[in-house]
Amino acid sequence: MKIAVILFLAATLALYAAETKTPAAAKPKPVPTAKASPVDSVPVGPAPKPAALPKPAPQPPPEEVAKPAATASKSETLRFNVNWPSGLSLGEGELTSTTAPGGWNFALKIDAAIPAFPIAETAKATAGADLCSTELIKEATRGRRKVGEKTTFDATKLIATRKTTNVPDGGKTEIRINACAKDALTFIQFLRRELAAGRLPQAQAVYYGAGYQTRLQYIGTQRVRSGSEVIDADKLTAFIKGPASEFTLEFLFARDPSRSPISVTIPVAIGKFTLEFER
C-alpha cells in the first residue's frame, strides 16, 4: 500500500506520497521548471472534458468576488482527520496560516500510522504577500527513516536550493524555478484565493522537496454533507506528476468567502482514503 494515504492537504498529500517512494540513499534530482505562463490563473467555468483545463467563463457575481477571503485574517488553523476507506481514523493533522509583515507563514503537522509504520511530519513555509515562496523546511519520521530538508527560493536568480539537513554533509541540489514558485503549503493558500475570485491556477510546478507538475480540473458545484450541514461545494481534480510517480486527488472546497477545504480524496487500488476537515 502506498504511503500516499497518510498525507496531506491537497497538493501536499500527493507530494508527500511521492517523497516516501524515494529510496533513503537517493539524492534529490533537479526537475525541469514549469513553462512560464502569461497569467497565473484562468477563470473557472463549466466542467471541461477529461484531461482538459477549465474553459474561460464569466467571473462570479461581483458581490462574491469583492468579499475579502477570511484567510486574510491574522491566523487560521485547519484540523483534519486521515481516514481509511472503512471510515476508521488513520491519524490527524493541522495546517496553520498566519499573516506576517510583508508576507505569510504556514505550518503543517501530521501524526498518523499504519500497522508497524508510524509517521510524523512537520513542515514550515514562508512566502511573500504575493504568495511567492521564499523558504520551506520539513522534518519527518517515516517508519525507521528520518527526513530533514530545507529549500530556499531565489526569485532573482530563478533557483531553488534544496539541502538535506538531518545528516552531516547531506548535499544540496539546485532546481530551476519560475519567478513566483510555490511550495505545497503556499499553493494551497493560493488555490483558495483564486477559487474565491472565480479563477483556477494554471498548470505549474509545486515544490515539496522536488518539483511536481500540478494541473487542476474544475468539475463543478455540488451539494455535499459537511459535519451536520449540507452545503454547496466546488469539486476539483488534481493531476500531479513527480520525477517518478503520478497521483490524482479529488478536492471539495466550501463556497464560503475563504473557500474552506471540506475533504481530499485519494483513490488507490484498495479503496479511497479521505482527509476530512473539521468545521
> pLDDT-based confidence at 209, cuts 50/70/90?
confident
pLDDT tens-digit map of 136-149: 999 988 778 888 99
Structural domain total, the chain: 1
How many C-beta atoms surround the C-beta of residue 275 within 10 A? Answer: 29
Alpha-carbon distance 258 to 68, whole Å? 8
pLDDT score for 40 = 63
Largest CA distance in the chain: 55
Higher pLDDT among residues 27 and 210, named by residue = 210
Query: Within the chain, how many helices (H) and strands (E) appear?
Result: 3, 17
> pLDDT-based confidence at 112, cuts 50/70/90?
confident
Q: Where are the alpha helices (DSSP H) in 36-183?
A: 62-66
**Percent of the chain surpassing pLDDT 70:** 73
What's the distance, CA 177 to chain centroid? Answer: 17
Q: Within a domain: residue 225?
A: yes
> pLDDT-based confidence at 266, cuts 50/70/90?
confident
pLDDT score for 8 = 38
Q: Within a domain: residue 175?
A: yes
Q: Taking a C-beta distance cutoff of 8 angstroms, is the pair 184, 15 a contact?
A: yes
Alpha-carbon distance 88 to 81, whole Å? 10
pLDDT score for 32 = 43
Higher pLDDT among residues 67 and 112, named by residue = 112
> pLDDT-based confidence at 170, cuts 50/70/90?
confident
Q: Taking a C-beta distance cutoff of 8 angstroms, is the pair 33, 46 a contact?
A: no
Q: Within a domain: residue 207?
A: yes
pLDDT score for 44 = 62
pLDDT tens-digit map of 15-35: 444 444 433 333 444 434 444
Q: Within a domain: residue 166?
A: yes
How many C-beta atoms surround the C-beta of residue 222 within 10 A? Answer: 11
> Containing domain of residue 232, as a range?
3-23+33-277
Mean pLDDT of the 105-131 span: 89
Q: Within a domain: residue 28?
A: no
Nearest to 131 by CA among 160, 163, 156, 106: 106
Mean pLDDT of the 44-59 span: 43
Q: Within a domain: residue 49?
A: yes
Phi, psi of 10 (to 5 degrees): 50, -125
